[in-house]
């Protein structure tokens, strides 16, 4: 099975809102409930409007279905450009087929290179995803700090 990665920004991302929300619902039960309650609508709409946000969808052309996605955000920084990755998710029906390792991660590297980035940043608390990132060459050189507000 091969997948094309469709990169969406602005209006084209808005047109894919339904599929993007369906994929995000596959992240976890908790996220699914929050999406159904409309908890992410405002933030998602802001992200659709951002010129720095790249919604990247792994699309199965045969079945005409969005199989997985990530959101890449070009970080405005004081030094070099970095692509920040979040919302990495693969539709449950398509898991363990290598979509993360063979489609999404290579695409993150391609997109970041095209955007002139020197690094890709992400955080992951999921052991199965962590092992995929380590195999792909990601390192964990810093300690991440977060203040939850």
Q: Which residues contact 120 (CB under 8 A, 6 or more apart)?
A: 82, 83, 84, 85, 108, 109, 112, 138
Instruction: By CB under 6 A, name the one of 18, 64, 96, 146 that touches ligand COA.
Output: 96
Give the pairing of strands 119-121 and 82-90: parallel
95 binds ligand COA (CB under 6 A): yes
Q: How many positions of this chain bind ligand COA (CB under 6 A)?
A: 17
**Integer CA distances (angstroms), 91 to 57, 66, 96, in order:** 11, 8, 10
90 binds ligand COA (CB under 6 A): yes
Taking the complex as a whole, the smallest distance from the CB of residue 1 to ligand COA amounts, in Å, to: 11
Contact assessment for residue 106 and residue 130, using Cβ atoms and an 8 Å cutoff: no
Contact assessment for residue 120 and residue 73, using Cβ atoms and an 8 Å cutoff: no
32 binds ligand COA (CB under 6 A): no
Q: How far apart are CA 46 and CA 50, in angstroms?
A: 6
Q: How far apart are CA 40 and CA 123, in angstroms?
A: 20
Taking the complex as a whole, the smallest distance from the CB of residue 66 to ligand COA amounts, in Å, to: 12
User: Helix, strand, or coil here: 93?
Assistant: helix
27 binds ligand COA (CB under 6 A): yes
99 binds ligand COA (CB under 6 A): yes
Taking the complex as a whole, the smallest distance from the CB of residue 96 to ligand COA amounts, in Å, to: 5
Taking the complex as a whole, the smallest distance from the CB of residue 11 to ligand COA amounts, in Å, to: 26
Instruction: By CB under 6 A, name the one of 6, 115, 129, 136 that touches ligand COA.
Output: 129
Q: Which residues contact ligand COA (rule: CB under 6 A)?
A: 27, 88-90, 95-101, 124, 126, 128-129, 131-132
């Amino acid at each position: 099975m091969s997948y094309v990665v469709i990169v969406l920004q602005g209006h084209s991302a808005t047109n894919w809102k339904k599929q993007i929300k369906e994929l995000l619902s596959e992240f976890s039960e908790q996220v699914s409930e929050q999406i159904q309650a409309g908890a992410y609508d405002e933030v998602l709409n802001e992200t659709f409007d951002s010129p720095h946000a790249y919604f990247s969808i792994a699309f199965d052309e045969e079945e005409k279905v969005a199989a997985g996605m990530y959101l890449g955000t070009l970080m405005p920084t004081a030094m070099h450009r970095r692509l920040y990755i979040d919302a990495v998710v693969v539709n449950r029906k398509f898991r363990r087929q290598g979509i993360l390792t063979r489609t999404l991660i290579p695409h993150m590297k391609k997109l970041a290179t095209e955007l002139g980035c020197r690094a890709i940043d992400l955080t992951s608390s999921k052991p199965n995803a962590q092992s995929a990132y380590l195999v792909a060459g990601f390192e964990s050189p810093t300690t991440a700090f977060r203040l939850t507000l």
